[in-house]
Chain A
Amino acid sequence: MERFSALSLAKKALGGHLGWKPQWRSVEQPKKAYDIIIVGGGGHGLGAAYYLAKQHGLRNIAVIERGWLAGGNTARNTTIIRSNYLFDESSSYYEHSLKLWENLSQELNYNVMFSQRGCLMVAHTVHDVQVFKRHVHANRLNGIDNEWLSAEEAKEFCPPLNISPNIRYPVLGASLQRRAGTARHDAVAWGFARAASDMGVDIIENCEVTGINRGPDGAVTGVETTKGTVNAKKVAVSAAGHSSVVLEMAGIRLPLQSNPLQALVSEPVKPAFPTIVMSNTIHAYISQSDKGEMVIGAGTDSYVSYTQRGGLHIPAETLAAICELFPMFRRLRMMRSWGGITDNTPDRSPITAKTSVPGLYVNCGWGTGGFKATPGAANLFAWTIAKNEPHPINAPFTIERFRDGVMIDEAAAAAVAH
């Protein structure tokens, strides 16, 4: 692997940027057998392959991707990274991830452009204020940074914010996690792919898994794909919105509903927005990309769909909220909108676990907030696959929690998909 440094980049720049080589091996045809097959070549799947190779010494791994690398939700989200979740189980999972984010560029020798610009969660009602303060206290007890700001302090931190008392849902205050931030989504996938490929992981694109093969004892023996049968004793599914579809091949029914989640970007403008602002109550999520576009997250459509698009009334509602919170954006033109398919659990917490089928593992249910968890989920999924048992951090995130009534109810904590 060609290591990047200031010197190597300068050399390439002086050479007219000629001579760049592909950063990972493109494997057209999978081998007959691997130790582990990972279904889904997004950030979570590629990351799991990386950590399996790096931390567990398992290198005979294939990542099988139906489309192209990171063409699904990894490329479709609004890249918000934070760990200020209410429940201990969730905040320790997301904090594990945030800590990995903080060193990810160095670890991968690949700039994922992680920018800790802070995340302001705006409160509009008395209930919001109480809930967010509870979040702040819960986080601080767990050693996770989060602080409460008055409306004036929030405006000082983010000057475009409209704190006028005369808007429909006035800003009463905000919670701020300063270590939260954004990252370049493609770079995350590319960085993991490059590092995993270098350690021997085969990445096979344009290869759809069409079946999961099982032996007489019920255990997994491999997968059927559009490029033939591939054998493996362990199959790990990290297929986001398509997790139900893939696991149905092994007869497993999941507590998931796949809904489109939409996002949109504006025309690029000069740096105008210093942080990330989220408002769960009026459904506005906004930050500015390095290209200058305002990146805006809208809500989910209410019905099950795999279309990667949704109704225009959903982003319209978000834009109404953005215009009221940030009047300076009222004349900004929107450039593109798109949808991704999110896999939502009833409690809006993920599943990173073994399944009832021996040798079959699943990392799903990340719903509308999986990007922030990319390195953490990948890291703990790798642990679960390698050791055939969960890490203490992801141990509560099983499928069986729905049977046993031990849900991690972030749905109620945030009162919104997040």
Chain B
Amino acid sequence: MKTVMGLINLNEDSSLIRNLADRRAVESIPFAGRYRMIDFALSSMVNSGILNVGIMLPDEERSVLDHLRSGKDWDLARRHDGLYYLPSARVEKEARQGDLKNFYFNLDFIEHSSQKYVLLTSGSFIYNMDFNKILMFHQNTGADITMVYYTAQGEGTGKNVVLETAENGLVSDISEKPAIYDGSKICMAIYLMEKTVFVDLVRSAYEHGGQDFLLDGIIRKAEEYTMYACEHNGYVAHVDSEQAYYKANMDILRPEIWEELFMGQNSVYTKVLDGVPVQYKENADVKNSLIANGCIIQGEVENSILFRGVKIGKGVKIRNSIIMQKCDVQDGALIENVICDKNVLITKDKWLKGAPNYPLIVAKNMVI
């Protein structure tokens, strides 16, 4: 894997998740109690042995920079290679839309890296993957471009890139669909190719007026390159909407998914905060929940996720909710089907309730 450089494209469309992505990138939305979305792609890269990772920054870059900093917590603060930040092209006074311009204006960095391959991923998928398998698949098929997909279970809506492939994985069609069906092959926005292919593809697509990497770089060029797709069998969630975010968090409450994502050979790394172990007081009553360090619990918590440093007062009842870092829920409050963003204060005896399929979202730093 020393021959592969990683690129994480943080330009996920935030229109369906704007209540959580207000002033932060989709990829730095807190997830599963102590992580940010980007931790999953980045940790998979590090665990696969990738030593050089470029982060394609979004416009709202502060939250990403604050989270990753030197890359030390991912073991990426290195003398050579390690973590690099690739600024978005707005500094180049480029008015064109889309993410392709960001690749184009950062081609220098990519061309001058010593690795032979480029592995491009997004930061809005949740998985724990060994990319060595993808590299092996890529070398065995002799593909120009290898993509990774998962097979959809059940129907769903939302913008997805659906692949049609032959039995050996050769891609025959790529399209963006508004709905998916049971058995659809959904592209996970993971692309592996030689660096020269990547550079040619970006350059030619951009210089011919392209805007979007997927649309103008991959889909429009499907005829020119041999593309193969490789299936990922583990847990996958694409967090592109508030409902998807809520569902993916609730998925982690299933012990088999918790085990698969976090307790296997490969850890998921995140920024370390040195929190104190969770304190369960006399009247604590916690059922089927995920609790991060630094919490102090005096009330009832059920089917919920508490992020680091959350305080739950006496007589509080929390159900089916996601309570982010440093929220303070005071005595007697009742919370059901709610997503509380960071640092929310819920004062005594307040009742907040969302619908099971439409959680109520409380914005960061609110006092209720």
Q: Are A and B part of the same complex? A: no
Give the A-binding residues of B (Cβ under 8 A): none
Give the B-binding residues of A (Cβ under 8 A): none
